[in-house]
Amino acid sequence: MSEYLQQLNKLKSYFESGVTRDYSFRKEQLRKLKQALLKYEKDLYSALQSDLKKNVEESWITEIGFVINEINYTLNHLRQWMKPERVSTNLLNFPAKSVVLKEPLGVALIIGPWNYPLQLLFTPLVGAIAAGNCVVLKPSEFAPATVSVMEKIVAETFSNEYILFVDGDGSAVVPALMKQFRFNHVFFTGSTSIGKRIYQAAAEQVVPVTLELGGKSPCVVEGDANLKVAARRIALTKFSNAGQMCVAPDYVLVHRSVHSDFVSLLKRYITEFFSSDPSTNYSYGKIINQKQFDRLTQWMKEGEVTHGGNHQRETLYIEPTLVEIPAGKSGPENPLLSEEIFGPVLPILPFDKFEEAKAIINRNPDPLAFYVFTSNVKNEEKWMDAIPFGGGCINNASWHLTNQHLPFGGRGNSGFGSYHGRNSFETFSHRKAVMKTPTWFDPAIKYPPFKGRLGLFKKIVGR
């Protein structure tokens, strides 16, 4: 790994040269990245099809177009974001002026996952570039076709003393990078277990981190919900990318009064969206590898399959599957109820009372996302107030992450820190507080001796 240390020091030197701080430089890099994505659009389609069996429309909406939209939004707002932010000055410091400067952090390490290999690596890259940083990109090795195209894009677009692309086994590469070099920020998207190890490694050098982790994102369907809309929207997002999405509904709690009707509608829309044989359907993907396939098919045995369940290991195919949880397997020892599923298997649990559903959700606190379907404002307010979560939707699922005006991120077990839009810029910036005090006004009261001035100080400061 010694060859990386030399390259990492080059990034540090390049940042310290000040080149990346200029607005025109940042703007030009974002434009170059956009042009490269469009240049390699067809190659990315082929790569995403190879890695995850994504069709071109899904690849555009959730990967290529998603990043381009982020670039466009950032270009439109970057100059404003970079401006010093004028803030008030208190009476004690009158007549000083106070500002907050947006300062780039330095050299950032961005570690991406395999499920959205382009979007989840390049979206934070947009924020890091916009904030004026140098970046090391470490993609997941489990999406090799997409990694190959991304590496080509980075090599042709940026100098490796500015943006460095590092491939290889993450379990070996990332620890070696973090031991050899003190990054100024680490941005990680992936599982909670690996996120904890990243956090520990960063803590040894007091390096700030953003952790975008997973969790069991619950979905509640109340008795007064519009069931057709709920079933359509849940089926769409749960089985997009074959369920390999961190904000997909992980399980559904449906009010017992509408349980049967809801499940019937869910089955109907799964078939409408993905046909009676999803294995050959244009819109349905595959599992990333055999390790994940084996885990999912084993977990399916922990419940009663009421729809789907067909699978084929050779093609990494698992049909969209609905699972009811028998009373004898409803405890926390059941992985379907205690582990993030991250695949096309959807447990459905009926409930009678609010407290019953809330108790089930509380077994896995701080989910990355939470969704509730209801036609009653009081119901939605009650749920929003009762459940701590990263972000979520009322009468929708997963789509909150497409709004650049909303911060995207978790809390507690699902991570911390946020990004998208301005939040990405802020994540990779330091808010530097500066107060400028004039010299023409320099009252003696601010200097010793202070004896006898306590009453006056109390009036100025307050008590």
| Residues labelled as active-site residues | 212, 246
Q: What are the structure tokens assigned to 338, written together?
A: 């205690």
As to burial, measured by CB atoms within 10 angstroms (0-12 exposed, 13-18 middle, 19+ buried), residue 442 is exposed
Residues 6 or more apart from 205 whose CB is under 8 A from it?
178, 182
CA distances from 356 to 53, 255, 350, 352, 353 (A): 39, 10, 10, 7, 5
Residue with tokens 């459940």: 387
Distance, first Cα to last Cα, the chain: 58
Quote the distance between the C-alpha of residue 82 and its chain's center: 23
Q: Where are the beta strands (DSSP E) in 197-299?
A: 209-212, 218-221, 251-255
CA distances from 343 to 330, 355, 415, 462 (A): 20, 28, 20, 58
| Nearest partner of 118 among 191, 4, 32, 40, judged by Cα | 40
Q: Which helix or strand (DSSP H or E) is residue 60 part of? A: none
Strand partners, 252: 219, 348
Tell me 64's DSSP state.
Answer: I
Tell me 172's DSSP state.
Answer: H
Cβ-based neighbour number of residue 39 at 10 Å: 14
Alpha-carbon span 453 to 444, nearest angstrom: 12
- Crossing angle (nearest 10°) for helices 41-52 and 23-39: 70
Collapsing DSSP states into helix, strand and coil, what is residue 275? coil
Alpha-carbon span 361 to 163, nearest angstrom: 41
Collapsing DSSP states into helix, strand and coil, what is residue 302? helix
What b/e readout covers 317-354, taking b as 16+ CB neighbours within 10 angstroms? bbbbbbbbbeeeeeeeebebbeebbbbbbbbbbbbeee
